[in-house]
């Protein structure tokens, strides 16, 4: 079951769940757990707080570097044959002073 279908199912189930008694709620949660493949607590939270059914997209992050620095980092990254971040940092510490002297 994809996320949209699951959320639609939980929206439909929500009203019935709120009006039900304890034993019926238990049965509804059991059925929803089988259908959705979610943990019982997650389903319970989603039924109590419907605004959590729809995940809000995060706001975009602010750029850490300006365009000039980013361009320079990309060129150095290509020059050093595309290392990961953990390997790039020591290379930059060692090689940038040498490249500046040229």
Average pLDDT over residues 64-84: 93
pLDDT tens sequence across 12-64: 898 898 889 999 999 999 999 999 888 999 898 888 876 666 667 889 999 99
The pTM of this model reads 0.48
Residues 6+ apart with CB under 8 A from 9: 1, 32, 35, 36
Where in the chain are the domains?
3-53, 67-101
Q: Are 36 and 78 in contact (CB under 8 A)?
A: no
In this prediction, residue 89 carries a pLDDT of 94
């Amino acid at each position: 079951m994809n996320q949209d279908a699951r959320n639609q199912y939980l929206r439909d189930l929500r009203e019935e769940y709120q009006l039900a008694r304890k034993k019926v709620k238990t049965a509804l949660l059991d059925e929803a757990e089988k259908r959705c493949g979610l943990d019982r607590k997650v389903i319970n939270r989603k039924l109590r707080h419907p605004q959590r059914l729809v995940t809000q997209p995060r706001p975009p992050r602010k750029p850490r570097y300006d365009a000039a620095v980013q361009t320079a980092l990309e060129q150095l990254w290509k020059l050093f044959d595309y290392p990961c971040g953990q390997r790039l940092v020591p290379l930059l510490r060692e090689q940038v002073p040498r490249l500046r002297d040229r």
